[in-house]
Amino acid sequence: MRNPILRGFNPDPSICRVGEDFYIATSTFEWYPGVQISHSKDLVNWLTLPQPLNRPSQLDMRGNPDSCGIWAPALSYADGKFWLIYTDVKRLDGNFKDAHNYLVTAENIEGPWSDPVYLNSSGFDPSLFHDANGRKYLVNVVWNHLATMGNANTRGASFFGGILLQEYSVEEERLVGEITNIFAGSDLGLTEAPHLMQRNGYYYLITAEGGTGYEHAVTYARSKELRGPYELHPQKHLVHVHDNDASPLQRTGHGQYVELEDGSVYHTFLTTRPLPGMRRSQMGRETGIAKCAWGADDWLYLEEGGMVPSVEQPAPDLPEHPWPAPRERFEFADMSVLPPQLQWLRSPEPARLFDLSGGALRLFGRESIGSWFEQALVAARQTEWQCTAETEVQFAPDSYQQMAGLTAYYNRTQFHYLALTMDPATGERALTVPSCLDWPEGRLTYPLGEMVAMPQDGVVRMKLEINRADLQFFYALEDGDWQAIGLVLDASRLSDEGVRGEHSNFTGCFVGMCAQDMTGRAQAADFAYFEVNNREE
């Protein structure tokens, strides 16, 4: 096995085994539909399944800030069905989070999934534990919004106020009984992402600590009693790469273990692959895995020793089960629904954003590319440092407030964009390259300078090439040759760490198609195909 096993933006892995099948649920944040689920039969080869949160009753993220939305889903299987716990976070900055936690269930992993059961809003990273005695319990981080007030009761406190536990009643579909803070964490702090597991008379509490930056870790604790007290692992952390710049895997934390039928144990973890020589992770936070072993002391350890997982891991003794190669070219004339590799932003009303009934992907120009509410942007993950994306667009703007084209997009303040629009000086179609690397204001720059005039009708082909930290746009008319347009742009800034620092952003770079119409007339752009190629070096 080669880490990361889920490449490109796939953070906060929760793993679940059902017989011969393995499933990993990962966070999708503001990208719709919500929660990425990947399926494997050998822990080596993975297939992306349809996302489960796909209708307004389950999820509506219009207005959610960047890096909010779906945080840390927890997937489990019990009583003949799948249980999926998720958070919809409505605020990122400041003292408050406004994190609402829900439960949906399904008999089949591909759905249909139920309407949500509301659980609580006391914090985030909820996870459901199925006790051997048949009872169920929710654990989640409690968020302490008073932490920075500085009075005698809160001075020195952390926003991360510990791990809460409360029983869940299946019959009543609500949390019931005593709420207990069962774990304050280790001295690394920022304790989050709890999962409870049960083995050999112990309750094992798995948490993530150190924040999701370069001090991130997987921390273990255990107790004979569900409500504690919990004792820390002899080395505190199962996985911790901090201060090991030689490792190609960084920011490792937030995971869960799975036991195979033969008793072997593997542990997932969040990780990143920053560009060599700089702390910038364009693919965002990804999913890794490591083989583990139970020690004589009934604690789990990395089989290879230490706390730094290797890129290469021994595969389990399972029959190889490859899936068809992921699609790289999407011909929209052949589609009636978008495949799960292509997602959009926030809205549970895709019919207002795009349509596939006319032989193309028709994007209806909506709000700006900086909108938190309703923008037409359909995109795929960048999964390697070498990435190319290509499309063909037919678009007839009648205002400079209308544009459509190809973008490399991290969030509303981190993107590069090759846009077909109207030149206000001539009233004719033209290409421009609005670029934004400006948090928090989101002001545009135009590294192209003057607009490049285009014919008044006909299609325009667009391409981008990302080579590590460099991004170059290209265009072509009909079947003409590709021509570079504009400067080589900084692709490394389209990363978790690219604008706000090491801890503040949570997604990853996407490449895709978009359309805007700030006049409100919803001018449409038709995209014939989209091709994305990610290549390892």
Q: How far apart are CA 184 and CA 161, in angstroms?
A: 7
Q: What are the CA-CA distances from residue 169 to residues 59, 134, 141, 174, 182 (Å)?
A: 23, 11, 20, 6, 19
Q: Which of 303, 331, 374, 531 is catalytic?
A: 374
Q: How far apart are CA 61 and CA 69, in angstroms?
A: 6
Q: How far apart are CA 503 and CA 437, in angstroms?
A: 17
Count how many Cα atoms sit within 13 Å of the Cα of residue 203 in the half-sphere of its side chain.
23
Q: How far apart are CA 437 and CA 498, in angstroms?
A: 8
Burial 359-384 (b: 16+ CB within 10 A, else e): ebbbbbbbebbbbbebbbbbbbbbbb
Q: How far apart are CA 238 and CA 236, in angstroms?
A: 7
- Cβ atoms of 43 and 289 closer than 8 Å: yes
Cα Rg for the chain, rounded, in angstroms? 23
**Is 303 known to be catalytic?**
no
- Measured at the CA of 230, the angle between CA 228 and CA 233, to 5 degrees, comes to 160
524-535/329-331 β-pairing: antiparallel
Beta bridge mates, 535: 386
3-state secondary structure 8-22: CCCCCCEEEEECCEE
Give me the amino acid identity at 194. Answer: P
Which tokens sit at 173? 């579909």
- Cβ atoms of 272 and 281 closer than 8 Å: yes
From the number of C-beta atoms within 10 Å of its C-beta (0-12, 13-18, 19+), residue 343 rates as buried
Using the 8-state DSSP alphabet, how is residue 447 labeled? T
Tell me which residues are annotated as active site.
374
